[in-house]
């Protein structure tokens, strides 16, 4: 069963590519693939699909993902997990009703802000270190130049048509968390309620609204 930490680790990868600056070691073909990937992400509006997450111990969890750019995303883990991760345009909330936990972070302070931002830039703090062809498309590997010792992210794209197929995060200890996307497709008319997650815990007496 995924923990809050592994859930956030797995989902953080979606933020890596949009803020990439191409490595001087990349050739023109590799740079072109990285640029195609960034353009695809930037033009994505609303989408939904399923995800399968495999952590470094081989534990598998599944769920459904909803996206509405800019600013909004929902990752709902399927039972037996009860994790729910929601970006509402301003904050990212992580709720686990089974454990009765709830945490909230400013969206701007999370990697999701890069993926969900209105404008995707290719000159940020992440560096594309490799681009390689795969059997079904290509893979773009990036690392944060500010935290060069904290691991890397590999984003997998399939082609015909171009689609984000998943990502793998490898930390500084060599442990990997892989997320595979299944059936990610553009949609329209997703209800705004999908991207709202309130703190379910009762308020303390005398505690006012934030």
pLDDT digits (tens, 9 = 90+) for 97-118: 888 889 998 887 665 665 677 7
Give me the long-range contacts of 58-64 (CB less than 8 A, separation at least 24).
Answer: 59/1, 59/2, 61/1, 61/2
Q: 10 phi and psi, to 5 degrees?
A: -65, -35
Distance CA 61, CA 77 (A): 7
Reported confidence tier of residue 13, pLDDT bands at 50, 70, 90: very low
C-alpha dihedral, 24 to 28 to 29 to 30, nearest 10°: 20
Tokens of residue 141, six digits: 């590997």
Q: Three-class SS of residue 134?
A: coil
The per-residue pLDDT for 116 is 73
* Banded pLDDT at 86 (limits 50, 70, 90): very high
pLDDT of the residue at 123: 44
With CA atoms as reference, report the closest residue to 119 among 14, 17, 16, 18: 18
Match domain 4-185 to its CATH number in 2.50.20.10, 3.30.70.3270, 3.40.50.300, 3.40.50.720. Answer: 2.50.20.10
Average pLDDT, the chain: 79
Query: pTM of the prediction?
Result: 0.74
Query: Quick check: 128 and 20 in contact, CB under 8 A?
Result: yes
Q: pLDDT, tens digit, for every residue of 122-166?
A: 445 557 788 999 999 999 887 765 555 556 778 899 998 899 898
């Amino acid at each position: 069963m995924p923990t809050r930490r592994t859930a956030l680790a797995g989902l953080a990868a979606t933020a890596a590519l949009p803020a990439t600056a191409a490595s001087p070691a990349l050739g023109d073909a590799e740079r072109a693939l990285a640029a195609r990937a960034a353009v695809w992400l930037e033009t994505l509006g609303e989408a939904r699909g399923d995800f399968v997450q495999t952590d470094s111990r081989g534990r598998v969890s599944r769920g459904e993902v909803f996206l509405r750019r800019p600013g909004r995303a929902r990752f709902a883990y399927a039972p037996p997990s009860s994790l729910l991760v929601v970006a509402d345009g301003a904050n990212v909330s992580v709720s686990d009703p089974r454990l009765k936990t709830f945490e909230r972070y400013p969206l701007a302070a999370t990697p999701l802000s890069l993926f969900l931002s209105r404008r995707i830039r290719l000159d940020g703090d992440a560096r594309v270190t490799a681009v390689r062809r795969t059997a079904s498309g290509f893979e773009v590997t990036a690392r944060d130049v500010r935290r060069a010792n904290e691991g890397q992210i590999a984003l997998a794209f399939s082609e015909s048509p171009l689609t984000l197929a998943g990502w793998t995060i490898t930390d500084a200890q060599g442990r990997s968390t892989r997320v595979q996307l299944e059936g990610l497709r553009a949609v329209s008319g997703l209800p705004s309620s999908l991207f709202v997650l309130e703190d379910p815990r009762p308020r303390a007496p005398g505690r006012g609204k934030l």
